[in-house]
Amino acid sequence: MLVQPKKKISAPHSLRDPVVPGRLLPSGQWGINRAAALLTFPDDGLQVVIPVWANKAVGDTAKLLLNGREVDGRPIIDEAELKQPTLLWVAPRHLQTGSYELTYEIK
């Protein structure tokens, strides 16, 4: 199960929640199933979509963190990426049964 972000920041430059396709459980909690984590993209793992952020610029780097540890990241290298979400991945080896905090940062 994924843990929802701990704190929402109301600021013009705050980041939106990452999108994990099919993440919501009937209870409203975030969760992922085995297929999403291991079978849909067996070589890449769990797909995470980072929404476009304010002032996205060439040279920014998006880093995906699982329990505070970087598991994926990529720089923005082309202007064509500025109006598109950024795709990052949690490799299958990082996902076992249990709870995780999934966050990201932009630098």
pLDDT in tens, 12-65: 557 888 888 766 667 777 666 666 666 667 778 888 999 999 899 999 999 999
Can you tell me the distance from the alpha carbon of 51 to that of 62, in angstroms, rounded to the nearest whole number?
11
pTM: 0.77
Q: Say which residue, 31 or 7, is predicted with more confidence.
A: 31
pLDDT of residue 35: 62
pLDDT of residue 17: 83
State residue 79 phi and psi, 5-degree precision.
-60, -25
Complete DSSP assignment for 9-30? --STTPPPPPB-TT-B-TTS-B
Q: Which of 101, 74, 96 is nearest to 20 (CA)?
A: 101
pLDDT of residue 16: 86
What residues does 86 pair with on adjacent strands? 50
pLDDT of residue 9: 47
* 86, 50 contact by CB (below 8 A): yes
Task: With a cut of 70, say whether residue 1 has pLDDT above it.
Answer: no
pLDDT of residue 36: 65
Structural domain boundaries of the chain?
A: 2-106
Q: Which of 102, 104, 83 is nearest to 29 (CA)?
A: 102
